[in-house]
Chains A and B, each alone.
Chain A
Amino acid sequence: MTAGTAPETSRRETSRAGRDIFLVANTTDELGGVTAWMHQMARLFQRYGHRVHAVGVHRADLKLSLPEDLGYPVTNLYPEHPPTPRPVRGLRRLDVRRRRREADRIAEKKRVVDRLSELFATARPGGILIVTQVWPMEWLREADTAGLTVIGMSHESYEYSKACHRYRWIKHNYPSVDRWLTLTQEDADRWIADGMHNVGFMPNALSRLPDEPSPRDSRTVASIGRLHDQKGIDLLLDTWAEVAPERPDWTLRIYGAGVEEEALKAQCTRLGLDGSVRWMGRTDDVPGALAEASVFVQSSRGEGFPLALMEAMASGVPCAAFDCAPGVREIVQDEVDGLLAPAGDSGALARQLLRLTGSAQLRDTMGERARENVQRFSEEEILRRWEDLFDFLES
């Protein structure tokens, strides 16, 4: 009996630690959730004894602040955004320059694909290739991935993919991978109903749990996110215009920078909210910002599995958010550890904010529960799920 189980466990142990894991994304240094997620997972895998290699298609313009030495190799395939494919058809065949450009692009792509194939050939048996975004599949589809288990990912909700070009890319590229992962079961179900058969799901991991929860004693509502249309800060200002008159002693702090900044500030002035809204700019100290807040608000138009929401909950700050994606519903249980409002209904979001700002008791109970509940997405738990997935895909 014991003789039978001993080699079994040792075999499992060897396969469990020390895999070659390739993480491929659009970029390795872009300011954004997916890149942050990739480096977080890379660190985790590395710490667990795997050999990680991060690969990006190109270098980004707007950089994420990363340490100098990441502790694992990073490869960028192109120095800048590669040219978009422009097939030469019809009368355009007469345009020599256009043909030249397209031929150069194809030749360069070939070189990049060969480089990828060489890289993957160095992997030992049991290697894993994680494609965090669908675009790199353009190259990976042509590269030689023999011997690797390929796992695709989509870091946004089904609805959001469906509304843009990535829907077609996913339908085109992901049927061929071993398994691909959405962020929630609900998104996976939507894709399955859409006719895809190799879909699973994997939530994002909560990066850190602050030692102390926020004291929740300042009269401050915080919002953290890029000032981009997707984050719906314009909707937040509309919402705040309904809240501010009722809560004159409260302040809305908006953390983040982005292209919409000017327009949003103009809107803020137009709504007469300059007195109660503080533009805090970009911050690298999210827990610090949350420690000074009593309520967190998120008004995004589209989300995947929002890290900011999880971080707020980890800091014990109760949240009010638009129910814009399955990921949000997965993280926040409405009326239990946060409050949700129908997507786009700023009146409803304002009512939820009024409830939270109006009762310290509600803030405390929801905040404490949030801090406890969000730990189901702890790094250890998520890592365990990844390890189980690697094993499952080998069986």
Chain B
Amino acid sequence: MTDRDAAQPREEPLVSCLVICGPTAGAKAVTATVRSVLGQSLRSVEAVLVTGDQAGGEGEQAAAAQGREAAAALAAEHPDRVRLVHSDTDGVAALRNAGLDAARGGHLLFLDAGELLQAHACRNLLAAARSSDADLVAGRWTRLTGSGRKESAPDWQDELHARTRTLTDIGAAPELVTRDSLASGYCVRRTFLDAHGLRHQADAERADLVFGAVAALTAERLTLVPNLIVTRRAVPDHGRDFAGLVDAGARIGRELADRGLDSLSAERERALADDVLLPLAAAFLRLPRAERQRLARQAAEHLDGAARAERWAQLPPVERICVRLLAAGDADGVHAAAYALARPGTVVSTLVERDDRIHWSAEGIDDPQARTTTDVTELGHQYRTLSTVQVMNRLTRCDPDGGGLALAGTVLLPLDVLPPTQDAVTWLEFKLRGRPRTFRMPVDETVRRRDGFDWSVRVDPARLPVRGMRERTWDARIVVEANGEKLLADVLAEPELTGPRAVFPARPRLGRLVADTWQPYTTARHHLALELRAERSPARTSRRILHYATHFRPARTIRRLVKALRSRRDRLNSGAVKTRVYNKLLLRLPTRRDSAVFESHMGKCYGDSPRAIHEELRRQGLKLRCTWAYAKSPAGFPADAKLVRRWSWRYLWALARAEFWIDNQGFPHGLDKPAGTTYLQTWHGTAYKRMGFDESRVRMQNVPHRDRLQRAVDRFDRFLVRSEHDIRTLGNAYRLPESRLLPLGYPRNDRLVAARVREQSEGRFPRPALAAELGIPDHKTIVLYAPTFRGVPKNGRKAQLPLDVRKFTETFGDRYTLLVRAHYMERAELPVCAPGTLIDVSDHHDVSELLCLADALITDYSSIMFDYALLDRPVVLFAPDLDAYAADRGSYFDLREQAPGPVIETEGELLRVLADLKRIDTEHAERRRAFAAHFGAYDNGDAARAVVDALFVRRTCK
């Protein structure tokens, strides 16, 4: 008793951290974890170190022994805060239960050796537990990624832990039991565990996962906090833990089913595919063949595929098939499917067509049940051509061959992309990594099959025209040219085919002193590449000398200097410096008479009203020095104008000297307008949603922000409007005095008015030349889909269109051609559809050309509807989120009341309505005309000339 008093603090700690030292826990891992516990900002914390005598491999035993020594040393160093517990039985459950029994804290927290506890973790968990009176408090955790250096959290964690919340019903946060969220990063109340007698299930291999889920299900109150609790969890090894993970999933599923939570149980099953099976399949690309087969056998043994097939049916097609192949133990099939997962859109199997549907393979094609699983019609592979298809090109041979390298491979082609009768030339091409240099050699032999071809080639070092310096890595690929089309196929190389065995001598042009060996290897993306190496002593010596010359001290100093100079140059070219120089210096330059700078949509395109004005100037033959600004590439911009990149020095120079600024959105806000310049703001559309100072967001901004906008707007000398509505809305929103408003209509719409006039007299055909350019035959009705801008998607992802384009083309493909125009600020991801049914026109410069072409328009809140109404053709407003959008952004009028066509909120109804365009045309004709008259009162087809007359009147009088 006295002994105990001396060794332990008198008070019980608030939190006990159980550090579980498993069979692989080394000294370093144990020490790091315990130090993170001792470094907690909450002082009343004890560390309970649980060790067992694990039977493992020899190396493992040595590591575990060192771990135990480290644990003992820590306990000796901090006798009052670190305690050692030894378990005689092995296994996760035994260790953790032993720790549970020994811990004395009011709250318990589990850590595996190697994991780190965030310094404020205990304080945050305990604070939440006290304020919410919860039995269990859970926070975030992160784990190491494959490289072992970075850390990441599972993607579902963000939403789960977005804010602090206390639940009494698990349904509010199902991820706690459907995903392995409670694998770590939580604490439980001691009294709660004792009251329910909760312990780990001794026979479960991953008892930790089961325990977390059962605790979550048992707890009456549960609190989730956004705090990060645990970092550096081990990299998951799905191959090693497979049986345990599947078993834990099954146990948790049973627990859920027992409690009547069947939907959660089903979700747990689906999560198994996402969390275990698909990562395991993805690992197949990196593993040798024998290991793949072992894993596939193991998977087949533990997974009852037939029982689970129904629950996996909702997975996307490739994922679904990958999981099914894994359950069937088909190692090669999984390998191929994993390749298709890694490179979306790749054809990796012999596709089969049956009853107009496309199937993954011929296997099970006669079984109607299996046929629904293998149906991959929606991937659109059947519509791909030689130049748009991505194929699997598997390396079958990679051997040194008499001073060269013998390569052979097999390419899988889908569904008659290249019929055996078609002539084709096949090359092996090498591309220098990071630079545009390539060279190619014809392959020696190709053997054509119905579903692809085999190729073989001997790479002769003499035929590799490389210099040898700064040309280290060459990526290999097969090129097939047939019928004017070209197929590029990277070579999928399994790691055991390449490697040191396959080296062959190199003969670079600079001699064998720079490099002497080619090493074929498998890249991080699993493709074949050749690396130029120095292996023998002369080359290695010269490499070393070169390395010395480029890395010794003066070279390092020079490099630092160059870097500093470069960063200084970048600073001088930064937007802030440019703005200052422009406003302080360039503005003093004299204005150059008869010069104008044009810009449309911040340089994104050559179009809209600035283009119409430019063309009118050209037509009238006015001698004006025109400059156009482009954002990224000058392609598509007029050749007779001077082209400058937006934000370049030449751009600023042009702006500072121009007599006219003409633009439809706004030259950079920070740039002041020169004294002698006239700024014509043509604007880019009539307003439905609230704009400028009418926007809630702007109204709530602080003074400096609003002043900046006011200064930018004050630059406008002339602002084009096309109706009274514009004056009431835009004029007010930007606080423009009446004198600056130019009620002449939009020059870009002259084309539309002309088109309507022509249609009334001559009919719609022949269509503009653009129809032929896009390859649209006359018998097809052209429907343009142009949704509005919803904000730039994050992380460089592409925007999701509100309309299911594939469904549209499947329904109307034979009658309509759908043109999709995403907003100029975003790009949409479009599925592969039957040829001639879907065309992406987002990159087209001038939207009014497209409007003239379209026989009907589908849009939501885009200002395009105000322009299109001038054509008097049917408009459908597909606005599934109308009320939310109007409430969020605010609107100037009720769209349902004034819309030029039917306002539709569901996709089913849209498809039904679109089936009869004629009816929309006639039924809504009145409304449409009233709409056009109301919102486009000043658009009378003569705007460009009127604007030029008003603005450049001095010159026209001359």
A163 touches B (CB below 8 Å): yes
A343 touches B (CB below 8 Å): yes
B226 touches A (CB below 8 Å): yes
Partner of A189, one of B42, B119, B163, B698: B163
A334 touches B (CB below 8 Å): no
Cβ–Cβ < 8 Å partners of A56 in chain B: none
For the complex formed, measure the closest distance between the CB of B703 and the CB atoms of chain A, giving whole angstroms.
5
A395 touches B (CB below 8 Å): yes
**Measured between alpha carbons, how far is A322 from B43 in the docked complex, in Å?**
43
B228: nearest chain-A partner, CB-CB? A197
CB interface residues, B 111-135, toward A, < 8 Å: 118-121, 123-124, 126-127, 130
Per-residue 0/1 for A155-167: is the Cβ within 8 Å of any B Cβ (1 yes, 0 no)? 0000000011000
Task: Say whether B127 contacts A392, CB under 8 Å.
Answer: yes
Task: Say whether A342 contacts B696, CB under 8 Å.
Answer: yes
CB interface residues, A 140-154, toward B, < 8 Å: none
Task: Say whether B118 contacts A302, CB under 8 Å.
Answer: no
Partner of A235, one of B44, B119, B697, B699: B699
For the complex formed, measure the closest distance between the CB of A230 and the CB atoms of chain B, giving whole angstroms.
7
**Measured between alpha carbons, how far is A283 from B720 in the docked complex, in Å?**
49
For the complex formed, measure the closest distance between the CB of A171 and the CB atoms of chain B, giving whole angstroms.
16
**Measured between alpha carbons, how far is A164 from B702 in the docked complex, in Å?**
10
A345 touches B (CB below 8 Å): yes
For the complex formed, measure the closest distance between the CB of B571 and the CB atoms of chain A, giving whole angstroms.
12
B139: nearest chain-A partner, CB-CB? A192
Partner of B164, one of A185, A197, A301, A322: A185
Task: Say whether A302 contacts B699, CB under 8 Å.
Answer: no
A378 touches B (CB below 8 Å): no
CB interface residues, B 696-715, toward A, < 8 Å: 696-703
Cβ–Cβ < 8 Å partners of B42 in chain A: 395
Task: Say whether A163 contacts B702, CB under 8 Å.
Answer: yes
A256 touches B (CB below 8 Å): no
Task: Say whether B700 contacts A344, CB under 8 Å.
Answer: yes
**Measured between alpha carbons, how far is A343 from B121 in the docked complex, in Å?**
35
CB interface residues, B 219-263, toward A, < 8 Å: 225-228
A77 touches B (CB below 8 Å): no
**Measured between alpha carbons, how far is A197 from B124 in the docked complex, in Å?**
8
Task: Say whether B163 contacts A186, CB under 8 Å.
Answer: yes
**Measured between alpha carbons, how far is A395 from B118 in the docked complex, in Å?**
18
Partner of B702, one of A193, A197, A198, A230: A230
Task: Say whether A343 contacts B702, CB under 8 Å.
Answer: no
Given A192-B226, A197-B227, A198-B41, also A302-B127 (CB < 8 A): no
**Measured between alpha carbons, how far is A312 from B889 in the docked complex, in Å?**
31
B634 touches A (CB below 8 Å): no
Task: Say whether B43 contacts A395, CB under 8 Å.
Answer: yes
A194: nearest chain-B partner, CB-CB? B226
Per-residue 0/1 for B522-535: is the Cβ within 8 Å of any A Cβ (1 yes, 0 no)? 00000000000000
Question: How many A-B contacts if CB must be within 8 Å?
Answer: 62
Task: Say whether B162 contacts A193, CB under 8 Å.
Answer: yes
A227 touches B (CB below 8 Å): no
A185: nearest chain-B partner, CB-CB? B164
**Measured between alpha carbons, how far is A209 from B696 in the docked complex, in Å?**
35
A170 touches B (CB below 8 Å): no
Per-residue 0/1 for A208-233: is the Cβ within 8 Å of any B Cβ (1 yes, 0 no)? 00000000000000000000011010
A200 touches B (CB below 8 Å): yes
Task: Say whether B702 contacts A344, CB under 8 Å.
Answer: no
**Measured between alpha carbons, how far is A232 from B793 in the docked complex, in Å?**
32
Per-residue 0/1 for A187-203: is the Cβ within 8 Å of any B Cβ (1 yes, 0 no)? 01100110001101000
B890 touches A (CB below 8 Å): yes
**Measured between alpha carbons, how far is A1 from B661 in the docked complex, in Å?**
88
Partner of B700, one of A164, A179, A343, A347: A343
Cβ–Cβ < 8 Å partners of A380 in chain B: none
B287 touches A (CB below 8 Å): no
Cβ–Cβ < 8 Å partners of B699 in chain A: 235, 344, 346
A178 touches B (CB below 8 Å): yes
Q: In the complex, which of the residues B43, B702, B887 has the most CB atoms of chain A within 10 Å of its own CB atom? A: B702
CB interface residues, A 114-152, toward B, < 8 Å: none
Task: Say whether A189 contacts B696, CB under 8 Å.
Answer: no
**Measured between alpha carbons, how far is A200 from B225 in the docked complex, in Å?**
12
B14 touches A (CB below 8 Å): yes
Cβ–Cβ < 8 Å partners of B44 in chain A: 395
CB interface residues, B 391-444, toward A, < 8 Å: none
Partner of A324, one of B14, B118, B162, B700: B700
Cβ–Cβ < 8 Å partners of A178 in chain B: 41
Given A197-B119, A395-B42, A395-B43, also A344-B124 (CB < 8 A): no
Given A192-B226, A345-B890, also A301-B696 (CB < 8 A): no
**Measured between alpha carbons, how far is A337 from B654 in the docked complex, in Å?**
59
**Measured between alpha carbons, how far is A145 from B723 in the docked complex, in Å?**
68
**Measured between alpha carbons, how far is A163 from B699 in the docked complex, in Å?**
14
B699: nearest chain-A partner, CB-CB? A344
**Measured between alpha carbons, how far is A197 from B225 in the docked complex, in Å?**
11
Q: Which 8 A-B pairs have the closest CB atoms?
A: A344-B696, A344-B700, A344-B699, A197-B120, A189-B163, A192-B226, A229-B703, A198-B120
Residues of A that sit less than 8 Å from B by CB: 163-164, 178-179, 185-186, 188-189, 192-193, 197-198, 200, 229-230, 232, 235, 301-302, 322, 324, 342-347, 392, 395
- Since A193-B162, A197-B227 are in contact, a sample of 8 more A-B pairs with Cβ atoms closer than 8 Å, ordered by chain A residue number, is A189-B162, A189-B226, A198-B120, A230-B702, A235-B699, A342-B887, A395-B14, A395-B44
Residues of B that sit less than 8 Å from A by CB: 14, 41-44, 118-121, 123-124, 126-127, 130, 162-164, 225-228, 695-703, 887, 890
- 9 residue pairs A–B, Cβ–Cβ below 8 Å: A179-B123, A192-B226, A192-B227, A197-B119, A197-B228, A198-B120, A301-B700, A345-B890, A346-B699
